[in-house]
Amino acid sequence: MNKGNIYFNEFKDIFNNPEMYLEDDGLNLLYEFVTDSLNMLQQNQKRELKRILQRIETEIEVRRLNNDKCPKCNEELIVLTEKDCEMLEHFGTECRQLISIRKCPNCGWKYDD
Ligand SMILES: [Zn+2]
C-alpha cells in the first residue's frame, strides 16, 4: 500500500469519526506527515515523496467528486444538459442525444458523465 493511502485513510478516519479521537490527533497526524515529508526531501527521496503527495491529491479529488463537489476547489457542482453531437455524427443524424455534464461554477472544471 502506498504511504499516501495510509496517510489519507488515517485523515479520513479522523474526519469521519471525530468522537473516537482526541482533539490533538489530527494535528499530530499532520505533524507526522510533514516531518516524514521533510525527511524524505532531506534524503533526496523526491520521487517517492511525489508519489505519496499525488496519491493523497487523487484520494481527495475522488472523495470530493463522489460527494458532488468540484475535485479542484470543493465547490458544489452544477449539472448541465447538452446535446451530444460528436457521438452521433458518423450516423449522419441530428444531435438528439442529451448528455449531462457536471461543471464547477467557481473554477470552471467540468466532467462529462
Ligand atoms: Zn472548482
Three-state DSSP string of the chain: CCHHHHHHHHHHHHHHCHHHCCCCHHHHHHHHHHHHHHHHHHCCCHHHHHHHHHHHHHHHHHHHHHCCECCCCCCECEEEEEECCCCCHHHCCCCCCEEEEEECCCCCCEEEC
Using 50, 70 and 90 to split pLDDT, how confident is the model at 89?
Answer: low
Tell me: the pLDDT tens digits for 39-51?
Answer: 999 999 999 999 9
Using the mean position of ligand 1's atoms as its centre, give its distance from the Cα of residue 108 in Å.
6
What residues are neighbours of ligand 1 (ion), with CB under 5 Å?
Answer: 70, 72-73, 75, 104, 106-107, 109
pTM of structure: 0.75
